[in-house]
């Protein structure tokens, strides 16, 4: 039978015969047998239908294409099945039941890996932006709490991790507990087993720098209890964080850049105690260069307490901050520059106590040593010699109490209440300033308002001045100082070799002042220098005062006053173009006075209250009143 060459029916018939033939032939050969005779008749029929040569080759190609299509259909079906399973898993994990399944599997894995109690109460995520954990618990090897978290939520762009980016919009931690310990004598931390479980000691150290880029937004922590008991170092730290909120501007871990937009800590307490002397460090060991870049726009502390107790150093610090708020313009730790905007401090108490017999080097609170170490680190980062510079545009401080006690010294007993420099307790402190600049050698500030009261009764009602303080001088310009007993105006400066040695070297205390109608009460002088209570004229009582104007220069023991106008004691008036007094404050000894007097009037009682005993011979009787002018030596 013959068919037309171009007939569609012929082609389909040939294709069907060829497919059937080669299929049966393949199965027969795979079975290891010989083709049966009927298959040879199939081949003959196909060859007769198609002819030899090109027709047979075309028939073979058609059969191969059929098998290739079937194979591709199989692959596509398999791929579709895999994708379907992935979609099914993702959809399944979107539901609480699926996420609980993941939590249980992770819980079981960690228990087996860490060989301790692990609990993951709830796990919730949308696998795009949010990951939440609730009721998380991890015990240490002694079955004590190592970590517990009521709620931990992280808003993170998971797909950004594929681009080596860590984009965290928000981290929220609630009702947490972290308990760290280090025990003697093996110095083992209670979290070391976690590091050991997930580390390979034979793995090569990875020295390559991380390529991760960080973008961290807000961190919010509430009701967190952190404890650390280090038996090796002898320290015990306990911190209760009520509410902590931090908004980051920039984080670059590789380059040590941490810039904070604003940070606020509220309703928190930190307590630290030290029971052992801090181990000695090798001072010759080079300090690592300081590379930290830190930035801060605003920081707030509200209802925050800090307590530090060091038994070996006999030191105690207790701070209670009602409200502290500071804004910053620039912080550069490497260049040692800190520029602050405004500082607000209210309802705050600072208390510091120490035992004077403990050497300064053994004290943990040793500001000079701390500054030295920071300076060394900064100078390594910048070879040029650097000095700290701190500026503050404005301060608003009120309701502050400052206490200082040296319990090794007994309280001073004096005839009248006086400042006890080993036990100072100031309350109601108010300080408003502008344009504060602090450097290592000099501090300048404009004081708009200063007030406060010590437990002795000494008080400053109001004070304002442009102040300069350095290692040898305190100068007050545009001064207006008011106490319940005194008032000083214009300018005043004192010069000294050592600020701490003023009381022991009063004759060499340098004075420079331009006083106008200044009133000085004996009561205030005796507050500051109680040892004068038994010397004239202060032995007459603390309730007197004197008015004075003039230009003062020199030392207290060698004092020169120009244009002096003095009214004091009970009935004494002195007006002098020049007054030179040598021998103060020890008037019981030799006292030299050189006066160019315009007017001098006094009484016998006033003279006897000032002159040392024996100055006036017993055979001389002073008149009840005395008035002179001219030169007196």
Q: What is the pLDDT of residues 164-181, one digit of tens each?
A: 788 888 999 999 999 999
Print the domain residue range for 75.
8-93
Contacts of 498 by beta carbon, 8 Å cutoff, 6+ apart: none
Within a domain: residue 428? no
Within a domain: residue 542? no
pLDDT given at position 471: 84
Do 380 and 289 meet the contact criterion of CB atoms below 8 Å apart?
A: yes
Number of folded domains that form the chain: 1
| Phi/psi-derived region of residue 347, left when phi > 0, alpha when psi is between -120 and 50, beta in every other case | left
Within a domain: residue 471? no
Greater confidence (225 vs 216) lies with 225
Q: What is the chain's alpha carbon radius of gyration, rounded to the nearest angstrom?
A: 45
d(CA 371, CA 333): 12
pLDDT at 264 over 90: yes
pTM, entire model: 0.76
Do 552 and 561 meet the contact criterion of CB atoms below 8 Å apart?
A: yes
Fill in the DSSP letter of residue 529: -
Within a domain: residue 325? no
pLDDT given at position 283: 53
Within a domain: residue 622? no
Helix (H) or strand (E) holding 195: helix 192-198
d(CA 116, CA 400): 49
pLDDT given at position 467: 95
Within a domain: residue 56? yes
State the average pLDDT over residues 248-266: 89
| b/e per residue 505-518 (b: at least 16 CB within 10 A) | ebeebbbebbbeeb
Count CB neighbours of 552 within 10 A: 21
Within a domain: residue 207? no
Phi, psi angles (nearest 5°) of residue 89:
-65, -45
Fill in the DSSP letter of residue 457: S
d(CA 611, CA 605): 10
Q: How many CA atoms lie within 13 A of 227 on its CB side?
A: 12
d(CA 556, CA 567): 19
Tell me: the pLDDT tens digits for 550-604?
A: 998 999 889 898 998 989 888 889 898 988 888 887 766 677 888 888 988 888 8
How far is CA 263 from each of CA 175, 221, 244, 292, rounded to the nearest angstrom? 20, 11, 7, 18
Give the residue from 408, 419, 303, 400 showing the smallest Cα distance to 350: 400
pLDDT given at position 5: 45
d(CA 391, CA 373): 21
Do 453 and 426 meet the contact criterion of CB atoms below 8 Å apart?
A: yes
Dmax over CA atoms of the chain, in Å, equals 175
Q: Using H for helix, E for strand and C for coil, what is the string for 289-336?
A: CCCCEEEEEEEEEEEEEEEEEECCCCEEEEEEEEEEEEEEEEEECCCC
State the average pLDDT over residues 86-115: 84
pLDDT given at position 356: 57
Measured between alpha carbons, how far apart are the two ends of the chain, in Å? 161
Strand, helix or coil for residue 408: coil
pLDDT at 538 over 70: yes
Within a domain: residue 342? no
pLDDT at 537 over 50: yes
């Amino acid at each position: 039978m013959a068919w037309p060459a171009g007939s569609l029916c012929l082609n389909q018939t040939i294709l069907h015969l060829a497919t059937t033939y080669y299929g049966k032939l393949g199965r027969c050969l795979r079975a290891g047998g010989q083709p049966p005779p009927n298959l040879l008749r199939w081949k003959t029929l196909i060859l007769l239908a198609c002819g030899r040569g090109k027709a047979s080759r075309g028939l073979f190609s058609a059969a191969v294409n059929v098998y290739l299509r079937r194979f591709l259909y199989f692959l596509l079906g398999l791929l579709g099945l895999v994708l379907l399973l992935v979609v099914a898993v993702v959809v399944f994990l979107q539901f609480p039941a699926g996420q609980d399944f993941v939590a249980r599997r992770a819980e079981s894995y960690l228990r087996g890996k860490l060989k301790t109690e692990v609990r993951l109460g709830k796990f919730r995520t949308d696998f795009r932006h949010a990951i939440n954990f609730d009721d998380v618990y991890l015990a240490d090897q002694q079955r004590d709490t190592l970590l517990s978290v009521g709620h931990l939520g992280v808003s993170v762009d998971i797909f950004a991790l594929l681009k080596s980016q860590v984009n965290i919009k928000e981290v929220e931690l609630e009702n947490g507990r972290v308990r760290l310990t280090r025990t003697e004598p093996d110095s083992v931390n209670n979290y070391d087993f976690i590091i050991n479980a997930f580390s390979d000691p034979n793995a090569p150290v990875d020295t390559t720098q991380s390529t991760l880029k960080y973008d961290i937004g807000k961190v919010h922590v509430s009701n967190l209890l952190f404890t650390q008991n280090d038996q090796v170092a002898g320290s015990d730290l306990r911190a209760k964080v009520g509410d902590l909120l931090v908004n980051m501007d920039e984080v670059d871990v590789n380059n040590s850049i941490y810039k904070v937009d604003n940070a606020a800590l509220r309703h928190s307490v930190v307590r630290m105690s030290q029971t052992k002397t801090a181990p000695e460090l090798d001072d010759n060991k080079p300090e690592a260069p300081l590379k930290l870049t830190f930035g801060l726009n605003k920081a707030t502390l509200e209802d925050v307490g800090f307590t530090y107790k060091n038994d070996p150093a006999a030191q105690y610090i207790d701070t209670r901050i009602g409200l502290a708020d500071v804004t910053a313009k620039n912080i550069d730790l490497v260049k040692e520059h800190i520029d602050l905007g405004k500082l607000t401090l209210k309802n705050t108490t600072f208390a510091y106590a120490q035992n004077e017999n403990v050497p300064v080097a053994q004290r943990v609170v040793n500001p000079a040593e701390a500054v030295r170490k920071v300076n060394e680190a900064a100078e390594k980062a910048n070879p040029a010699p650097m000095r700290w510079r701190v500026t503050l545009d404005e301060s608003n401080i009120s309701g502050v109490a400052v206490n200082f006690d040296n319990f090794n010294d007994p309280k001073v007993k004096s005839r009248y209440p006086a400042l006890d420099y080993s036990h100072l307790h100031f309350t109601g402190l108010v300080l408003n300033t502008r344009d504060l600049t602090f450097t290592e050698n000099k501090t300048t500030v404009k004081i708009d308002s200063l007030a406060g009261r010590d437990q002795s009764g000494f008080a400053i009602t109001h004070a304002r001045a442009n102040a300069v303080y350095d290692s040898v001088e305190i100068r007050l310009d545009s001064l207006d100082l008011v106490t319940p007993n005194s008032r000083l105006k214009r300018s005043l400066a004192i010069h000294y070799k050592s600020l701490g040695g003023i009381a022991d070297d009063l004759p060499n205390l340098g004075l420079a002042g331009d006083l106008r109608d200044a009133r000085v009460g004996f009561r205030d002088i005796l507050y500051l220098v109680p040892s004068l209570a038994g010397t004239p004229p202060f032995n007459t009582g603390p309730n007197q005062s004197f008015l004075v104007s003039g230009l003062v220069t020199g030392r207290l023991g060698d004092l020169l006053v120009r244009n002096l106008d003095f009214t004091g004691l009970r009935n004494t008036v002195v007006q002098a173009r020049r007054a030179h007094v040598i021998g103060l404050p020890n008037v019981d000894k030799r006292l030299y006075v050189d006066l160019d007097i315009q007017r001098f009037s006094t009484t016998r009682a006033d003279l006897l209250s000032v002159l040392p005993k024996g100055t006036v011979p017993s055979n001389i009787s002073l008149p009840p009143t005395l008035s002179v002018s001219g030169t007196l030596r």
